Amino acid sequence: MTTKFTPDHEYIRVEGDIGTVGITNYAQEQLGDIVFVELPAIGKVLKKGDEAAVVESVKAASEIYAPVSGEVVEVNVVLTNSPGTLNTASEGEGWMFKIRLANSAEIETLLDADGYADLTL
């Protein structure tokens, strides 16, 4: 399993050709209390950098971008009724959607954990 990060504070955890996407712990801390999550439709085809989802907090609304190109194959419906899961477990149970990678080489363009840590200092 490989985990990579975007400069926009999304993570993607890749197993085979499926990537699990969410926001980082740093991102949820910056957003504050999350009150609403809009998830992409299953079957939606995204290009890297496309707006995939929206997270609304008491502070602001934030777009979540696709870290890679592919097709949405699953969404975390828990977030519909419990958006605060993003605050308590953003990099665990608070994942947002799973995407079938269209081009696995795109993963190599993302940040590793050290590169992301440098970004958030």
End-to-end CA distance of the chain: 25
∠ CA 18-19-24, nearest 5°, is 165
pTM of the model: 0.96
pLDDT at position 103? 96
Mean per-residue pLDDT pooled into runs of 10, the chain (121 residues): 95 97 96 97 98 95 97 97 96 97 96 95 80
Per-domain boundaries in the chain:
2-101
pLDDT at position 121? 80
pLDDT at position 44? 98
Q: The domain 2-101: what is its CATH number?
A: 2.40.50.100
The beta-strand segments (E) located in 16-77 are: 18-23, 34-38, 45-46, 51-57, 61-65, 70-75
pLDDT at position 1? 86
Contact 31, 90 (CB under 8 A): no
